[in-house]
Structure 1
Amino acid sequence: MSLVDPATPADVLRTSLRTRAAVKCATLFGLWDRPLQNVATNLEEMKFADLAYWFYKSARPIERSEKNVRDILFLHDKSALKLPDEFRRVASITLSASGDLIRADGLEYSKDFLFESVSDVLFDADISLANYESPVADDKIIRKAIGDGSSLMMCCSFDQYAALTEHRGKHFTLLNVANNHILDLGVEGLETTRSHMGQSGIIDIGAPRFPDEYGRARILTKKRVKVGFISATFGLNGYQLPQNERYRVHAAKLLSKYVATDLELLQKQIQDCKKQHCEFIIASIHWGYEFEFFPRYRQVEAAHSLIEEGVDLIVGHHPHVIQPLEYYRTKRDPNRIGVIAYSLGSLIWGWYTAPHLVLSMVLNVKLAKGIANGVPRTYIETINVHPVFRDISYHGKKRLMRIEKLYDHSDSCTSAYPAARIRTMQRYVDLVLGSTTVARQSG
């Protein structure tokens, strides 16, 4: 492993002397060792203190939660997932869900190698879902956009796109594109990305093609189960769509510093799912506070509200670190447990050493469709969580990235990965999930 690889964004992104001084002061006096209140997460709302806090936690992730959040999230564990005694199964499907897919320098060299160790948990499911965060363009456009590497742009080449989304003839079923980086290359970049996904046989969600699709869900029927997918992002990094093209991305003020959480767009999509008689609803939501291991209380409230309105599974992304899974027993159906994955972390990104940044999770979910007391129902039957991490090796001058299952490396005698980093990642997993939630088996 190269010793010169930067560990965190704070190592490469330019900061002012004032920002560096604020970070140093906060570090010395422990000022930001818990979630900072009244802070912005949307780039267009960020002021000096918000940016300084972002740089601080990119290297020193926040391990504490807001008051009472942990107690709410850990009220139930996966043992709450039980099919009703009177349930009669008629069909089953499996789902995999993972977090952010983001460009990395030289990623194209890892094609058909990147997912080698995790292809079973990613691609053997009936439906596979992830968040795609790097609009596609020609190499010349990419080089101009990224420049010297200190840019926040997340665009990638067509070869990198192939490495991010495919493995030996298999590919993701659906990719969420409602996120804060999807317009890094403008509407043209979005269109190119979406077109390429269509050619690859991948369904995009979160980017309507026409105005009348805005607020509509994506529907997929698999093995006799009709699943609705809804989506939204908290922001677009300040990119302003023209008035006549506001429909291009499902974006809403989910976590504004200045206004209350706006769930109207997601609620509209839930109603669309119900009108189309979906049997299970999955929300792919791009939100949260980066580099914090726990969601904010307002997110917990919003997630509960969405579950009560009809969502059955929430797949969250954006914080770049893992966050808890909540098993929420609904009021609308006493037999239904809504599962909320507040953040699955970043499956792929251009950081290779910092444990909090290389660690992410893959969910494997089994859905059961059937009849309970004469009423059609589709429930989550089982869920397994696979902590994974990014590793790199070198073939000549080419850097190769591969995703590894964390518990394949729990034995320090057989793992080539640094034992201290493995222990740190295991500690983060236990912090946000607890040992009873995690699939510790190998393979």
Structure 2
Amino acid sequence: MPRHLPASPAEVFRASVRTRAAVQCAAWLRLWDRPLQDVATDLEEMKFADMAYWFYKSARPIIKSERNVPQILFLHDRSVVKLPDEFRSDTSVALSASGDLIQADGLESSRDFLFENVASALFDADISFANYESPVADEEVVRRAIGDGRTAMMCCSFAQYSALTGHRGRRFTVLNVANNHILDLGIEGVEATRRAMARTGIIDIGAPRHPGEYGRANIVVKNQVTIGFVSATFGLNAHQLPESETFRVHTAKLLSRYVPTDLALLKMQIEDCKKQGCDFIIASIHWGYEFEFFPRSRQIDAAHSLIEEGVDLILGHHPHVIQPLEYYRTKRDPDRIGVIAYSLGSLTWGWYTAPHLVLSMILNIQLSKGSRNGARRTYIESIKPIPVFRSISCQGKRTLMRIEKLEDHLDQCTSSPSAARINQMKDYVDLVFGSQMKSLS
């Protein structure tokens, strides 16, 4: 590991002189205090201004919403999530959900240490979920691919995969692989990743094995509750699937600057869930604008549309920072609250000190299945967001990463991580969740 731990991509990636000048100018003039309009988030569509904006906000996150996004949408207390009157429960399922699992240099040293302080929040659930964003390959392939670590490519060895995906024999139940990095090592990387998950007993979603699986949901049954997972990513970092294998990743134009939001693939999977008699539908969506603390208005419209289509819970990832939870009362069922997590942040990544990048979120969700007025229903009974962050310590020449609960550090005056960084993370939590997180004050 390098002695100086990088704080953010802006510190490590080599931007052109022209890009650096644009970023400095924007900072001086405060041009990008609010989200930049008509900007690309898909690498395939990015131009010079889009890339300059990306570098800018990777170090200076955007803390304001679009002017047409009312922040009141996100300020309801989570107590609105409760079981309806006259509902009688006869079984339940506990879910945990977290954001991006991404490789970091030397991460294999943190195996069975990484999740030590959050293991119960992640792995005590009946079903645990995360977004897996680093294709697996042999160590030599990984070394050639990422070189000195100054690349945007995400891949990892099986040793790092093992550290990322489990703790002392317990592993994530479901991992999403429909994301913009899954094709970084080509189809071979997709296959190797799926083999690793099969070998370790993890269900992968978003990467069909054959054309017949394209547009189909993944079904998980637990405690007599049938849960359907639907998935899609906004893009593949300009990588192209071979013409004969376009089915390999669930990809849709979710946030293209050129065409309207395309929800057809997700709706196809939702319909498949209904045909298979799912009690509850979860949408894993890789989308959003990186380093922005609020979703864009078109995401909100799309999320509401998916909830009305039949989704009960949306788990968003890609922005690398936390974004709000929305508790949306559906029109299709006035007693149903659909929960929308626009971004859970990055649980692991190779940036170590920037507060906006080390902060992420774990959700603990309780589902209840039963009867109401003679009809079988499954509702979200309760939800608990848990802000967490990545902490770094040194053990000889090894640098160890561990996920910590933010609330465990609020009253401590420590130098590692510093009290200032802890306070900044708390400010970001307050910004995004407001009164929802009173327990942290």
For Structure 1 versus Structure 2, the TM-score category normalised by the shorter chain is over 0.9
Superposed CA deviations along residues 261-287 of structure 1, whole A, max 9, x for unmatched, are: 000000000000000000000000000
Q: Aligned pair 1:190/2:190, yes or no?
A: yes
- Distance, in Å, in 1 between the alignment partners of 2:314 and 2:389 is 22
Q: Name the CA shift for 1:417/1:190 in 2 (closer, same or farther; >3 Å).
A: same
Give the superposition deviation at 1:209: 0.3
| 1:419 counterpart residue number | 419
- Distance, in Å, in 2 between the alignment partners of 1:68 and 1:223 is 42
Give the superposition deviation at 1:68: 3.7
Give the superposition deviation at 1:417: 2.5
- Distance, in Å, in 1 between the alignment partners of 2:291 and 2:378 is 34
Across the two proteins, how many residue pairs are aligned to each other? 441
| 2:288 counterpart residue number | 288
Superposed CA deviations along residues 104-159 of structure 1, whole A, max 9, x for unmatched, are: 00000000000000001000000000000000001111111112222111000110
- Distance, in Å, in 2 between the alignment partners of 1:438 and 1:320 is 24
| 1:382 counterpart residue number | 382
Q: Aligned pair 1:344/2:334, yes or no?
A: no
Preserved contact between residue 386 and residue 439 of structure 1 (Cα < 8 Å): no
Matches within 5 A, 1:262-273: 262-273=262-273
- Distance, in Å, in 1 between the alignment partners of 2:63 and 2:3 is 26
Decide which moves more: 294-303 or 138-147.
Answer: 138-147
Give the residue type in structure 2 aligned to 1:362.
Answer: I
Preserved contact between residue 136 and residue 189 of structure 1 (Cα < 8 Å): yes
- Distance, in Å, in 2 between the alignment partners of 1:231 and 1:438 is 32
Give the superposition deviation at 1:77: 2.7
Unaligned segments of structure 1, at least 5 residues: none
Give the superposition deviation at 1:332: 0.1
Q: Name the CA shift for 1:435/1:72 in 2 (closer, same or farther; >3 Å).
A: closer
Matches within 5 A, 1:146-185: 146-185=146-185
Q: 2:143 aligns to what SS in structure 1?
A: helix
| 2:245 counterpart residue number | 245
Decide which moves more: 257-266 or 68-77.
Answer: 68-77
Preserved contact between residue 346 and residue 357 of structure 2 (Cα < 8 Å): yes
Q: 1:7 aligns to what SS in structure 2?
A: coil
Give the superposition deviation at 1:259: 0.4
- Distance, in Å, in 2 between the alignment partners of 1:386 and 1:342 is 15
Q: 1:435 aligns to what SS in structure 2?
A: helix
Matches within 5 A, 1:81-230: 81-230=81-230
Preserved contact between residue 76 and residue 436 of structure 2 (Cα < 8 Å): no
Give the superposition deviation at 1:239: 0.7
- Distance, in Å, in 1 between the alignment partners of 2:254 and 2:76 is 26
- Distance, in Å, in 1 between the alignment partners of 2:21 and 2:52 is 9
TM-score, reference length from structure 1: 0.98
Q: Aligned pair 1:325/2:325, yes or no?
A: yes
Matches within 5 A, 1:336-375: 336-375=336-375
Decide which moves more: 221-230 or 69-78.
Answer: 69-78
Q: List structure 1 runs of 4+ shifted beyond 6 angstroms.
A: none
Give the superposition deviation at 1:75: 5.9
Give the superposition deviation at 1:81: 1.1
Give the superposition deviation at 1:243: 1.2
Q: Name the CA shift for 1:93/1:210 in 2 (closer, same or farther; >3 Å).
A: same
Superposed CA deviations along residues 280-319 of structure 1, whole A, max 9, x for unmatched, are: 0000000000000000000000000000000000000000
- Distance, in Å, in 2 between the alignment partners of 1:255 and 1:10 is 24
Matches within 5 A, 1:3-22: 4-22=4-22
- Distance, in Å, in 1 between the alignment partners of 2:215 and 2:299 is 21
Give the superposition deviation at 1:440: 3.5
Give the superposition deviation at 1:439: 5.2
Q: 2:436 aligns to what SS in structure 1?
A: coil
Give the superposition deviation at 1:416: 4.6
Preserved contact between residue 368 and residue 378 of structure 2 (Cα < 8 Å): yes
Preserved contact between residue 366 and residue 381 of structure 1 (Cα < 8 Å): yes
- Distance, in Å, in 2 between the alignment partners of 1:412 and 1:379 is 38
Superposed CA deviations along residues 239-271 of structure 1, whole A, max 9, x for unmatched, are: 111111000000000000110000000000000
Preserved contact between residue 105 and residue 149 of structure 2 (Cα < 8 Å): no
| 1:405 counterpart residue number | 405
Give the residue type in structure 1 aligned to 2:108.
Answer: E
| 1:25 counterpart residue number | 25
| 2:35 counterpart residue number | 35
| 2:306 counterpart residue number | 306
| 2:80 counterpart residue number | 80
TM-score, reference length from structure 2: 0.98
Give the superposition deviation at 1:20: 0.3
- Distance, in Å, in 2 between the alignment partners of 1:74 and 1:261 is 22
- Distance, in Å, in 2 between the alignment partners of 1:150 and 1:74 is 36
Give the superposition deviation at 1:414: 6.5
Give the superposition deviation at 1:6: 1.6
Give the residue type in structure 2 aligned to 1:260.
Answer: P
Preserved contact between residue 75 and residue 435 of structure 2 (Cα < 8 Å): no
Give the superposition deviation at 1:28: 0.4
Give the residue type in structure 2 aligned to 1:130.
Answer: A
| 1:395 counterpart residue number | 395
Q: 1:320 aligns to what SS in structure 2?
A: coil
Unaligned segments of structure 2, at least 5 residues: none
RMSD in angstroms over aligned alpha carbons?
1.4
